[in-house]
Amino acid sequence: SSNLVDSRGEQAGKIIILSDFTQTRQLMQQLEKMATLDGLTGIYNRRHFEDVAAREVYRFHRYGGSLSLIMLDLDHFKNINDAHGHAAGDAALVSAAKTLASCLRKSDIMGRFGGEEFMILLPETERAAAIAIAEKMRQALESLEVRSQKGSFRVTASFGATGVTSPESTTPEVLFEQADKALY
């Protein structure tokens, strides 16, 4: 807003300019969503998951407690795409993400790490508890049936779980590497 003054220097009025930023705000929210979430499954994408994991590792270093990580890879995913088509593969990924999320607490953090790879960070969770959660997720996935135009199929996954054992040497990269080794 600006004041309007007349030739005597007295206020004669005001100019007020109003702008609607609704569309700009919506675009910013859409960009943030695209930058943090996997477009298919709606869970965190790899880049954002790594950022969140780095913050959680920092929090662990500062306050202590426990921290675990689960990595999982859907088994024989190429065979699903080959036998049922890529749309069925996408449906399997979406269904798997929902099934996995149903086994987690609100404080747990899940992201899609690669094509058919998922990572789950478990704050305040010991490795033994992470293994139990992985088993619960394995069973939930095993009972998942995905339907496609070419018939229904089951989804299974291989899991690896790790927990922080040496706080001073723990980084997100070390956790990822340990979970990857446990997976294989």
Q: Catalytic positions, please?
A: 116
- 15: part of which helix (H) or strand (E)? strand 11-15
Altogether, the residues listed in the chain come to a count of: 184
Q: Which two tokens stand for residue 100?
A: 């996995």
- The terminus-to-terminus CA distance of the chain in angstroms comes to 65
Instruction: Give residues with Cβ within 8 angstroms of 12, minimum separation 6.
Output: 4, 5, 6
For 158, residues 6+ apart whose C-beta sits below 8 A from its C-beta are 72, 73, 75, 183
**Over the range 86-122, which residues count as b (16 or more CB within 10 Å of their CB) and which as e?**
eebbebbbbbbbebbbebbeeebbbbbbeebbbbbbb
How far is Cα 100 from Cα 93, in angstroms, rounded to an integer?
10
CA nearest to 69, candidates 10, 135, 119, 9: 119
